[in-house]
Amino acid sequence: MGGVQSFGPEYSGIAGIGRRELSGGYSLPSQFGADIMAMCLSGIDSQRSTLSFHTTPFEKTLSAELLPDPSNPEFYYVDLYKVFINDKEITLNPSIWNFRNAIDYSCLVDTGTAATYFPRDFYNVFRDTFRQEVQNIRLVNGPRPGGFDTCYRVYLGVVPNFPVVKMYFVHQDPNNLLLLTHQRVMAHVRGMFCLAFYAWDEDYAILGVNQLQGIGLTFDTAENTLSFELDALYLYFRNPGHASATKDMRVLTKSHEPRSVVSEPSPTAPYDVDLSDDMFDEDDMLDMF
């Protein structure tokens, strides 16, 4: 190319990272022969993320079983057993639909989807329960950004305290609990805090990027597990000794020029630190959804 830069500053192509297939398959895990793939997805306000093959720098503090689907061998499915808002389980009237039975093999982990999607009937109960759990924060009844249906405005100087979302895999046990708080639950867009989940008309759920941001993900298709380490992005780039250095690790990192308003907060920092008005590029946030 005569020394001329041939790749753009934002991206230089598309790499598939679907599940490894032992025969054929064009994803990077298939081409690398990698049973282990690890990544930590950046949030909208973060500068860096990491992707590695063959080994992982993250602790396997929580694991869910990866469920094979012969009809879609490249996809990553997990058994999402139960969902709670604070301590209230999201349940459906049996006359509506038995979501529990339908979702056993139908919760797709998708790093290409911006937010988490639930089947519409389940989402309606999820959203209504969330609203009931929010105390003393004004619900926006007018236009809302990004297709969100539950947004709040907070008075200047007030630190909001929104409910947490609990996801259990396989069975209800503290060791199988993915606890979502702060911007893994709420997106801050145009001065509003919006519930960052969506409804759709399919009969399965998608666990998306907004809920997985900053979490160390280890996909191990030899052991059929997906493991989570909370706040891994925060730890990985601030504590060089946190990640183990191994000679067979292949790491790809994404780095952008820092913007003056970005401070790479932890996803579990207080809302007044993590979700202040100058923390997000709102156009970028809307582009995600």
Question: Are 209 and 115 in contact, with CB atoms under 8 Å apart?
Answer: yes
pLDDT at 266: 36
**Range in 10-24, 153-167, 197-211 the model is least confident about:** 10-24
pLDDT at 109: 93
Q: Answer whether residue 9 is part of any domain.
A: no
Q: Which of 279, 208, 217, 212 is nearest to 46 (CA)?
A: 279
Query: Over 70: is that where the pLDDT of 254 sits?
Result: no
**CATH number of the domain bearing residue 216:** 2.40.70.10
pLDDT in tens, 71-84: 888 899 998 989 99
Q: Distances in Å between the alpha carbon of 199 and those of 99, 104, 157, 163, 215?
A: 14, 18, 32, 19, 23
The residue-averaged pLDDT of 251-274 equals 34
The whole-chain average pLDDT of the chain stands at 75
Q: Would strands 116-119 and 197-200 be described as parallel, antiparallel, or unpaired?
A: parallel
Question: Are 92 and 122 in contact, with CB atoms under 8 Å apart?
Answer: yes
Q: Answer whether residue 190 is part of any domain.
A: yes
Q: Answer whether residue 60 is part of any domain.
A: yes
Q: Answer whether residue 22 is part of any domain.
A: no
The tally of CA atoms less than 13 A away on the side-chain side of residue 175 is 3
pLDDT at 142: 79
Q: Answer whether residue 1 is part of any domain.
A: no
Three-class DSSP category at 224: coil
The alpha carbons of the chain give a radius of gyration, in whole angstroms, of 19
Determine the Cα–Cα distance for residues 197 and 285; give it in Å rounded to an integer. 14
- 250 or 108: which leads in pLDDT: 108
Determine the Cα–Cα distance for residues 287 and 281; give it in Å rounded to an integer. 10
pLDDT at 272: 36
**Range in 27-36, 149-158, 245-254 the model is least confident about:** 245-254
Q: How many residues does the chain have?
A: 289
Query: Over 70: is that where the pLDDT of 256 sits?
Result: no
Residues with Cβ within 8 Å of residue 181, at least 6 apart in sequence: 164, 165, 267, 268
DSSP run (H or E) holding 133: helix 120-133
Q: Would strands 151-153 and 165-169 be described as parallel, antiparallel, or unpaired?
A: unpaired
Q: Answer whether residue 15 is part of any domain.
A: no
Q: What are the start-end ranges of the E strands in the chain?
A: 36-40, 48-53, 62-67, 77-78, 80-85, 88-89, 107-109, 116-119, 138-139, 151-153, 165-169, 177-180, 186-189, 192-195, 197-200, 205-207, 216-220, 225-229, 250-255
The count of structural domains within the chain is 1
Q: Answer whether residue 18 is part of any domain.
A: no
Q: Answer whether residue 7 is part of any domain.
A: no
pLDDT at 30: 78
pTM of the model: 0.74
Domain range enclosing 274: 34-288
